[in-house]
Amino acid sequence: MTALPGKVILRISAVVAVTLMVALVVHQLSYTNDFTLPNQPIDAIGFCDDSKRKWGDLGEPVQSSIPQEPIPKIVHQIWKNSDVSTYPVQAFRETWEKNLTPLNYTVKLWTDDDVLKLIKANYTWLLSTYEGYSQNIQRADVARLVVVHAEGGMYADLDVFPRSTKEMACLQGLGLQAIFAATSGNLGVSNHFFMAQRQSPFLEWALQEAKRRGGPTSKRILLPYLRVFWSTGPIMVTHVFRHYAWMYSTAHSGLALLDEGYARKVFGHAAGRSWRGSDGQFLNYVSDHLGVLLFWVAVTLAVARLKKPHGYPNG
């Protein structure tokens, strides 16, 4: 039997390793998009005309079964305890209080203990999932949906700050059941800032989906960063948002996105991609340089194919 030269074995091993790595990355990234959903367009609010409450720039009144009532004047924020100075980046809680309290808003800080008490009291069906998460950020993602569903109002991460209280008040009066911030050029839905009516059916859907994704399927996702995004974060929220809009049609869903450009007029977000794990940095890099990475993988495979010997002398 003919033995392969050492260099050929190394070359084949390298090609196999690269191929397996690409397959793994593609498999993991497949969780970032749900190809089973229709390409349902989502209304993006580009401005808010205060003289046209319940109309905005959506063109017509929202024909929704949801009562068209203003979103409550409450700002919800969440941290592990009442000492926001331990937040890893600058916290803007005082900015919210300074700007909105004079306008009769309540700025409410929920601690981990507060959220747990609320879930034990009113969301017992979610308790096992909530306590079973391996990452604290997963609990934080679900907690924000729970507190706004329970009381209505706005949610803002501690690194989010207000830019226009007038625009916020206008948005709250449009009669929509939920408004979220857009991401990725209005293709995705973020969860660092949103507002909703109390007992919003959409938020109920989102919580039910979070429970479903808290099961065995999430274990297939090896990277913690991606598992968080898929199970409770923006990937999950985007899926539910598009599915809900498709089920009820955009005109009847009572949902809307803040256009990314307009959102910057409403609020600011200081931190952005704040996940600090090595897998998060890796996926951020892959996302930013995917085309370049695929190009070099293709070149490597092509070169290896060209250099592959067509036959070996009998030994």
- pLDDT, tens only, 102-130: 999 999 999 999 999 999 999 999 999 99
Cβ-defined contacts of 81-89 (< 8 Å, 24+): 81/111, 81/112, 82/109, 82/111, 84/109, 84/158, 87/158, 87/159, 88/274, 89/159, 89/270, 89/271, 89/274
Q: Residue 249: phi, psi to the nearest 5?
A: 70, 145
Query: At which residue do the structure tokens 């989906």 appear?
Result: 209
pLDDT in tens, 237-296: 999 998 898 887 655 678 999 999 999 999 999 865 544 444 444 444 444 444 444 555
DSSP state of 56: T
DSSP state of 153: E
pTM, two decimal places: 0.75
d(CA 54, CA 22): 48
What is the reported pLDDT for 49? 72
What is the reported pLDDT for 17? 52
DSSP letter string, 166-232: HHHHHHHTS--SEEEEEETTTTEEEEEEEEE-TT-HHHHHHHHHHHHHTSGGGGG---HHHHHHHHT
Label residues 101-116 b or e (16+ Cβ within 10 Å = b). eeeebebebbeeebbb
